[in-house]
Copies of this chain bind each other. A is one copy, B any other.
Amino acid sequence: MDPFMQAAIDEAQKGLDEGGIPIGSVIVHDGRIIGRGHNRRVQEGSAIKHGEMDAFENAGRQPARVYREATLYTTLSPCAMCSGAILLYGIRKVIVGEHETFLGEEELLKSRGVEVNVLHDETCVGLMKQFIADKPELWNEDIGE
Contact = CB atoms under 8 A, between A and B. Distances in A.
Contact of A61 (B41, B56, B67, B87): B41
B84 A144 contact: no
24 contacts: A41-B61, A45-B60, A45-B61, A46-B61, A47-B56, A47-B57, A47-B60, A47-B61, A48-B48, A48-B49, A48-B56, A48-B57, A64-B145, A79-B84, A80-B84, A81-B84, A81-B85, A81-B87, A81-B88, A82-B84, A88-B144, A89-B144, A90-B144, A108-B108
A89 B64 CA distance: 27
A85 B145 contact: no
A87 B82 CA distance: 11
Binding site secondary structure of chain A:
helix
A80 B108 CA distance: 11
A64 B62 CA distance: 33
A interface bracket (residues with beta carbon within 8 Å of B): 20 to 34
